[in-house]
Each structure stands twice: as C-alpha cells, then as structure tokens.
Homo-oligomer: A and B are copies of this chain.
C-alpha cells in the first residue's frame, strides 16, 4: 500500500488524556483512534495487526477442534438471572429496547452457550464438543485508563468446551494450554508470557491464567525462572513464596498483564440450564464445562508495551501490519518498480511515497515500527542497491533486490 493513500496519518504528539504507552504509540502511529474512555476505533494499520492476531488465534483453536460460531451480544435478562449474574456482576451493561432494562450486553457468553449446547447434546456419544467465537464484549469498567489493555468494548475469542467427565475436561484443558502457548510464541511474546497459578479453582485449589510481563500490567506476579511459570500475588502467601512445581523459593516479583485465561467451570453453568447428557447406562448426568478466553486488542496493546523504544513500536513479524517499509528519497523511478516487484512477490509492503523530508520519513518509520526498513535513494543505488535496516537493529547495509527477496521469503 502507498502511504500517501492511507486513510490514517501519524501524529506528532500523543493525546493528553492517554497515560498508557500502548495507546500513545498506537494513536500517534494512526493505528487506533479514541472515541471515548475505553472505546477505540481500529484504523487500517491497526486493523491489519488485529486481523493477524485473530488469524493466529483461529488457527490454533481450530487445531484443538474448536468449531467457530457467532453468538449475539444482546442477551435476555432471564438467562442472566438463572445464573445469578444479573445482580452479581457489577460490570454487566443492562439495556432495553424500551424503557425497561430487560437485556444484557454480553461481557461473556456462558449464559447463551450453555442453553445452546442443550439443544444439540443428548448423550455421551455427542461429547466432547468445543465451540468458540470472536465477538464484541461489553464491560462497564469503572477505570479505563490503560489504553487498549482494559476496554469497555472489545473483541474476545471465547471458547467453551463440554465434557462427560472431569478427566476428559482435564485432557482438553491441557490441549488448550498448549494451544495458548503456541499463540503467544507465534506472536513473539512466548518468553515474556508465563503460565500462572491463581486463585479461584473450582476443582483444584488453584486456577491458571497466562500473564505477560510488562511494567504496564495491573497484576503482580512472582516468576520461577527454572520452570518458566508464575504465581499470582493473590496466592503467593498461600504458597509460602515457593514455586508450586519445583519448590524453588527464589522468585522474581514483577508486573504483568493477563493475556489469556483458561478455566474449569465444572457444572457451574450446566446446572442452572439443566445441561445434562445420558451416560452409557441411560442416566442423566450434568455436563462438565471449560471456558478459555483471549482478547486480540489486549494482546495488541501488550505487544506494544513489550516491544517499543523511545522512537516507537517494534512489531514482531507475525503481527506487523506490513513487513517492509519501503522509503524513497529524492526523485527516482526505481522506487515504484521495487514497490511493484515486492507486491508481485506477495510481500506486504508499505511504500512511503510522500513528498516529505527524509527526517520525517525516518521518524515515521521508527514510530510505525515495521520490521524491515528499506531505503531507495541515489546514494543507495550508487552503492549497489537498497539500504536495509531492521527495526530492532541499529546498523544498516546495502542489499540487492534479489538478496532482499530471498531474506523475506
């Protein structure tokens, strides 16, 4: 894409009411736009990154037999009354088409997926099953000041699984845990993301979540470097400050963002909806459920918090909106040819064809943070080709177009 044709533009200054690094850089880069506190638009560059994150999640969830569906965000009050959450969930946004508030704007979908599963699951032969969707979620968050890490409206990938036994849920829960690890690794935050012990388990003493280490995080975790796991602060006293896996007491305290949650729900939501199956003896048994969430926007914000410097974002390749930032300096016709060549080779390239100064182009390239900056100028051509600099490196070098293509394929 040509930068001169892009809908968004970069901004020199960050908005005054944005404290978080992720929102500052993403807004300055024209990736996102703030409509209200906790509510943002995703512009062409931001949407491309969003889609790449979504597609990585989709591939990994499909690989653990998740079937994609799409459930609505307006839910009847009665479903939420059945589980008691109409009154107990303080972030629940209650609405109505008339004066009466008789619907919920979904913050999660247990109240719809459980009665939905009841329509199709009859016997043990129908189990296990797993369905998921990417759908808007709404939460009446009191504080929304962490950019896109804590939103009032956001997309969530929520996966729900249905099992005939606790053992079967346990096995599936482990499969999803591995899928989540793959997701974070593919996005470049694998090393920074820890399988974390937390409170609130239904069957075992602890539940688990995935926490990504960053100063922007609202959670405090204790990391065991030996096991590459962490413990949420809420249970560290309980564990006497030791790793639950190896007993190591040399734990490192740090801040983190919860980037994924996995939860053994048990029969918490199957009971209110009488979600049962007939076992091999023809007896009705409650279905055992699990739920597993990941928010693509929170992931995008976390990636920016982890990968940036004072000049801007440093995208990992897998989630960069474009791979190459092609910049032409001065007037030369070669730039357009290189741009066409990269496009024809299916390499995602943003071509800075604007008539602005070299300094402005470099500053924008650093701010936008695409992995490969490729300059074409009289100087580079005289030196034998293109000047290549990776965003996460400081040195540049001259490469031919063939060398560049080889590198990017």
CB atoms of B120 and A69 under 8 A apart? no
CA–CA, A70 and B72, complex, Å: 18
CB atoms of B153 and A67 under 8 A apart? no
CA–CA, A47 and B72, complex, Å: 12
Minimum C-beta distance from A90 to chain B (A): 11
Q: Which of A36-44, A256-264, A376-384 binds B?
A: A36-44
Question: Quick check: is A319 within 8 A (CB to CB) of the other chain?
Answer: no
Minimum C-beta distance from A361 to chain B (A): 17
Name which residue of chain B comes closest to A129, CB basis: B7
CA–CA, A103 and B94, complex, Å: 12
User: Contacts of A39 on B, CB cut-off 8 Å?
Assistant: 72, 74
User: Contacts of A93 on B, CB cut-off 8 Å?
Assistant: 95, 97
User: Contacts of A44 on B, CB cut-off 8 Å?
Assistant: 67-69, 131
Most chain B CB neighbours (cut-off 10 Å) among A105, A112, A140: A105
CA–CA, A95 and B112, complex, Å: 21
Assuming the A-B contacts A39-B74, A42-B69, A68-B47, are A97 and B140 also in contact, with contact meaning beta carbons closer than 8 angstroms in the complex?
yes
User: Contacts of A76 on B, CB cut-off 8 Å?
Assistant: 35-36
- Picked from B7, B73, B119, B133, the residue with its CB within 8 Å of the CB of A69 is B7
Name which residue of chain B comes closest to A4, CB basis: B125
Question: Quick check: is A8 within 8 A (CB to CB) of the other chain?
Answer: yes
Assuming the A-B contacts A35-B72, A119-B33, are A6 and B67 also in contact, with contact meaning beta carbons closer than 8 angstroms in the complex?
yes
CB atoms of A112 and B41 under 8 A apart? yes
User: Contacts of A30 on B, CB cut-off 8 Å?
Assistant: 120
CB atoms of A97 and B41 under 8 A apart? no
Question: Quick check: is A138 within 8 A (CB to CB) of the other chain?
Answer: yes
Within 224-265 of A, Cβ neighbours of B (below 8 Å) are at none
Within 84-134 of A, Cβ neighbours of B (below 8 Å) are at 93, 95, 97-98, 103, 105, 112, 116-117, 119-120, 129, 131, 133
Q: How many copies does the complex hold?
A: 2
CA–CA, A5 and B131, complex, Å: 12
- Picked from B7, B35, B71, B117, the residue with its CB within 8 Å of the CB of A120 is B7
Q: Kindly state the interface size class of chain A when it binds its partner.
A: 35 or more
Assuming the A-B contacts A35-B76, A131-B7, A140-B97, are A41 and B152 also in contact, with contact meaning beta carbons closer than 8 angstroms in the complex?
no
- B-contact bits for A199-220, CB 8 A (1 contact / 0 none): 0000000000000000000000
Name which residue of chain B comes closest to A117, CB basis: B7
CB atoms of B41 and A70 under 8 A apart? yes
User: Contacts of A145 on B, CB cut-off 8 Å?
Assistant: none
Assuming the A-B contacts A43-B69, A97-B152, are A8 and B120 also in contact, with contact meaning beta carbons closer than 8 angstroms in the complex?
yes
- B-contact bits for A41-73, CB 8 A (1 contact / 0 none): 111101100100000000000000101111111
Question: Quick check: is A390 within 8 A (CB to CB) of the other chain?
Answer: no
Question: Quick check: is A278 within 8 A (CB to CB) of the other chain?
Answer: no
CB atoms of A75 and B9 under 8 A apart? no
Residue pairs across A and B with Cβ atoms less than 8 A apart, 7 shown, are A33-B119, A35-B72, A35-B76, A41-B112, A47-B68, A74-B152, A97-B140
Q: A39-B74, A41-B112 are in contact. List 11 more A-B contacts (CB 8 A).
A: A6-B67, A7-B67, A7-B117, A35-B76, A39-B72, A47-B69, A47-B70, A73-B153, A93-B95, A105-B105, A136-B136
